[in-house]
Structure 1
Amino acid sequence: METQRTNLLHKTADGLGRFFRRLTWKRRGFILFVVVLTAVLLRPLWQRAETGTSQLFPTDQTYHYESLRALGYATTGGADVNEILHAIGDIEAGDPESWYQGWTALADRKMAEAARYEHDQIGQGNALLSAANYYRTAEFMLYADDARKLETYRQSTAAFYRGLESLAVSHEQMEIPYQDHVLDGIYFPGDMAQHGDTLILMINGYDSIKEETYFTLGQEALARGFSFMSYDGPGQGSAIRENGIPFTPAWGDVNRAVVDEVTTAHPEIRQIVLVGFSMGSILATKAAAVDPRISMLVQYNIMYDFSFTPRESMPASFADRVFTDEPRPAWVSQALGYTMRFSSEQDWAIRHGSWVMGIDDYAEVLNQYRYYEISQDAPEVTAPVLLLVGENDHFVNEELVVTTADSFRQAASITSIIYDAQSGADEHCQVGAMHLWSADLFEWVYANLG
């Protein structure tokens, strides 16, 4: 048996050798380049899986993280624990269709539960909000050209607003004029006997929708008497899904339009705490740098340069081909397309970026990331700054934490909180530890209230 196996290996090696020798040197070089590039680009993901931190999907960081993100909202009214654990047990890691089917089935189940509760409005509302979260999660992995993406998004938002009505949560849907467009916002009034004159304004990131932020921070803010607002800016939520408005790095203009509208509609607002959610931390920093009406700035989770992670994962020579405004050979995007087949994280990130940034070329999608950074913006921020980060964040390393903190040279104060694994808040955006990070945020807000 061993002799047969050895002979088979020899024959395979000989066949590959003959095939390789028949190729031109140019083709040989390209094949070797793709093999090496694939190994290098996937290496950080292999290392991540080997650490054992991806507990829900041990072999896939993206599927683990997004599941934990949805599960974490159990503490703020958007999920129940065991039903999620059962649902993800039937999902195949790295398979977007399996992901969609699993989460949609769970969302449909919650909608059926809500329909049963004719008299218990709280039970109905809780089921609807969970369904909204599950539909959002189901939609997450679908490609932009899949007709089910818009349909599932609409199911999520419809369930969300029905849930708020069932629970009698006071809220106001706002239309925000911005250039030639209208952006959608949602405002929750706080208790004026407490801190209703202070607005917690949250900016989404690369992949969130404004409705999700009710679970992320909105409920915690309202419980403490603060007013809360979120909106879908260009490239986000309804702006990209319903109106096709792509991302822009000029977020100072975007957020200024939002602040103009909300302070006109609610002149009782005296202070604004601007909170960036993931990539939204970059957008929030850009906004705070040009608007003195921002009283405090929170980077929830630290982010300095959106191109950092993909750039660091590539060989320098290849990164130079990607992150440039010079014309690049077609093989650069072809190579990226090839490596995307082996990484659900890379496949989703680039395809999603192509959609929300309105760019077809894969390499150019990544190149646009470099315009989302704060080296010129952070030094202009004068408000107090809070920086939050987990030690196992798969987008940020220790060096970037120092770089980010040092960049806020004119800030009234800088507070950094780094969460370790034992805290449960060690992942990106502290998913799975909603009470902890929000308590730290509000403790800091109380200390800085004017």
Structure 2
Amino acid sequence: MTLFQDPGFNFSGLLALGASGYGAGEVGEVLTAANAINKAGLSAQTYTQTFKKLGDQLLKTPEGGESGRETTRSRALRAAQYYAQALFFVLGSDDPGSEEQLYRAGRDAWDTFCRMCDPAPVRDSVPYGQTPLPVWFFRQNDSGGRRPTVILTNGSDGQNVDMWTYGVSAALERGWNALVYDGPGQGQLLFVDRVTFTPRWETVVTPLVDWLVARSDVDADKIALTGLSMGGDLAPRAAAFEQRIAALVAMPGTLTPWLGFPQQIREILTPDKDETNNIWNREVVPELPPAAAATIKKRMEPFSVQAMLDAREGKMFTDFYTPAQRIRALDISNVVGRIKAPTLVLDYEFEQFYPGQPRQMFDKLTAPKEYVKLTAATGAQLHCSPMAPQEHCEVVFDWLQETLSAR
């Protein structure tokens, strides 16, 4: 299970490799890229450069003539994956200022894929504050019959292509509708519109539910909500207040995203903004190795536009206090007990970001609940089971179908 010796790069590479089961990657392409990166010397630069080049190649006309519709669709989906791989590490590369351009390349590939689907997903913008939420509504066909529908919530740094791997394809196979969206701090809203995360995720999900229940092809009594990665915090928060959610899946259950940051980073946060930022700028930043600096830039940018803009200029942000407090505000420990919808909490053997939190969430739930831990016995270990998304989706959708069949 080792593509790269560095755990961060390895986890991302495994996500691309595992996505091959749903067509959002190709085993040979990913392994060839991994070999090329290792041969050149693993770094953010070689990783970003190699996967961007792979995405570019897939969108070019292949040798021998024009691609057919299905080939174009397939290649665009894989390109979206590889651009997402490059995007994740671009802030540590030689060209951090290309972040938005790289996001747009991945988004264009995703939109090309969507246009080629049959039927193509319904595209729309759902009202949210001053910045509408882009949505993609996937259906199995145009029959118009009311169907169960799943709202798929991404995490703090995933892209739309991840929602294909962790829900859309599996939903369509089972006759469900699936809604993909960018919320604040995600995708278009972050990289283009510059809107950061909100701790009140119910204000994001409620307009999505409003949009769905107005459709004639949605069974309003069978709307499920899932949350992947940090979405395992966002989706439960929304379900605690949005009572039209019929079933909830936290993947994994996450109560306190702040605990996913290294302890030595968390310890510098004090109640005083000036004191905190003085410690950050005088004691922490000068000692950060380049790789660690790139990681902290990436993890903080969804919570601070200034941190994102500084990172694109190759600089470290100076205000640590503000984004840190925004992350702390995502703690949902005190609202989980409000959830009424039946809830599935997933956990993963060797969970590296939120260890112990799924079981803690499960214990706090008062709604009908189930806890499932995916393990190394079937290669489903690590955060979000990067090597086993098909098994992951089987667990989720078998539970959803059984749970909603009685409604």
SS at match of 2:219: coil
Q: Is the 8 A contact 2:119 2:140 kept in 1?
A: no
Q: Report the CA distance between 1:114 and its aligned residue.
A: 5.3
Q: Is the 8 A contact 1:194 1:225 kept in 2?
A: no
1:238 corresponds to 2:184: no
Q: Report the CA distance between 1:356 and its aligned residue.
A: 4.0
Alignment of 1:218-233 (within 5 A): 218-233=168-183
Q: Report the CA distance between 1:226 and its aligned residue.
A: 0.3
1:403 corresponds to 2:360: yes
Q: Kindly provide the CA deviation profile for residues 31-66 of structure 1, in whole angstroms up to 9, marking residues without a partner as x.
A: xxxxxxxxxxxxxxxxxxxxxxx61112x1110011
Equivalent of 1:260 in 206, 210, 226: 210
Q: Is the 8 A contact 2:74 2:113 kept in 1?
A: yes
- TM-score, structure 2 normalization: 0.88
Structure-2 change in CA distance of 1:175 and 1:234 (3 Å):
same
State the distance in 2 between where 1:402 and 1:350 align. 30
State the distance in 1 between where 2:369 and 2:190 align. 34
Q: Report the CA distance between 1:262 and its aligned residue.
A: 2.6
Q: Is the 8 A contact 1:57 1:64 kept in 2?
A: yes
State the distance in 1 between where 2:128 and 2:225 align. 19
1:87 corresponds to 2:42: no
Q: Report the CA distance between 1:220 and its aligned residue.
A: 0.9
SS at match of 1:181: coil
Q: Report the CA distance between 1:326 and its aligned residue.
A: 5.4
Q: Report the CA distance between 1:215 and its aligned residue.
A: 2.5
1:354 corresponds to 2:309: no
Q: Is the 8 A contact 1:128 1:162 kept in 2?
A: yes
Alignment of 1:116-265 (within 5 A): 118=66, 120-143=68-91, 146-190=96-140, 197-265=147-215
Q: Report the CA distance between 1:163 and its aligned residue.
A: 2.3
What is the letter of the counterpart of residue 297 of structure 1?
L
Q: Report the CA distance between 1:94 and its aligned residue.
A: 5.9
Equivalent of 1:108 in 56, 79, 104: 56
State the distance in 2 between where 1:115 and 1:178 align. 45
Q: Report the CA distance between 1:152 and its aligned residue.
A: 1.6
Q: Report the CA distance between 1:217 and its aligned residue.
A: 1.4
Q: Report the CA distance between 1:377 and its aligned residue.
A: 1.8
State the distance in 2 between where 1:286 and 1:343 align. 32
Q: Is the 8 A contact 1:71 1:80 kept in 2?
A: yes
Which stretch shows the higher mean deviation, 267-276 or 201-210? 267-276
Equivalent of 1:76 in 17, 22, 25: 22
Q: Is the 8 A contact 1:222 1:228 kept in 2?
A: yes
Structure-2 change in CA distance of 1:226 and 1:320 (3 Å):
same
State the distance in 2 between where 1:406 and 1:256 align. 26
What is the letter of the counterpart of residue 85 of structure 2?
T
Report 1 or 2 for greater relative contact order, CA contacts < 8 Å, sequence distance ≥ 6.
2
Q: Which residue pairs with 2:250 in the alignment? A: 299
Q: CA RMSD in A?
A: 2.5
What is the letter of the counterpart of residue 216 of structure 1?
Y
Q: Report the CA distance between 1:348 and its aligned residue.
A: 1.8
Q: Kindly provide the CA deviation profile for residues 144-164 of structure 1, in whole angstroms up to 9, marking residues without a partner as x.
A: 983321112211121222223
Q: Report the CA distance between 1:275 and its aligned residue.
A: 0.2
> Share of identical aligned residues, percent?
23
Q: Report the CA distance between 1:219 and its aligned residue.
A: 0.7
Equivalent of 2:377 in 422, 428, 436: 422
SS at match of 2:198: coil
- TM-score, structure 1 normalization: 0.80
- Paired positions, count: 388
Q: Report the CA distance between 1:266 and its aligned residue.
A: 4.4
Q: Is the 8 A contact 1:110 1:131 kept in 2?
A: yes
What is the letter of the counterpart of residue 438 of structure 1?
C
Structure-2 change in CA distance of 1:211 and 1:301 (3 Å):
same
Structure-2 change in CA distance of 1:382 and 1:176 (3 Å):
same
Q: Is the 8 A contact 2:144 2:217 kept in 1?
A: no
Larger radius of gyration: 1
State the distance in 2 between where 1:143 and 1:343 align. 10
Structure-2 change in CA distance of 1:356 and 1:368 (3 Å):
closer
Q: Kindly provide the CA deviation profile for residues 194-230 of structure 1, in whole angstroms up to 9, marking residues without a partner as x.
A: 9952111011110013343122210111111100001
Structure-2 change in CA distance of 1:376 and 1:383 (3 Å):
same
Structure-2 change in CA distance of 1:84 and 1:369 (3 Å):
same
Q: Is the 8 A contact 1:276 1:298 kept in 2?
A: yes
State the distance in 2 between where 1:334 and 1:279 align. 30
Equivalent of 1:277 in 228, 233, 236: 228
State the distance in 1 between where 2:109 and 2:267 align. 45
Q: Which residue pairs with 2:259 in the alignment? A: 308
- More helix by proportion, 1 or 2? 1
State the distance in 2 between where 1:169 and 1:152 align. 27
Q: Report the CA distance between 1:269 and its aligned residue.
A: 2.8
Q: Report the CA distance between 1:321 and its aligned residue.
A: 3.3
Q: Which residue pairs with 2:311 in the alignment? A: none
Unaligned runs of 5+ in 1: 1-53
Q: Is the 8 A contact 2:118 2:141 kept in 1?
A: no
Q: Kindly provide the CA deviation profile for residues 277-305 of structure 1, in whole angstroms up to 9, marking residues without a partner as x.
A: 11111111110000110001100122111
State the distance in 2 between where 1:335 and 1:310 align. 18
SS at match of 2:81: helix
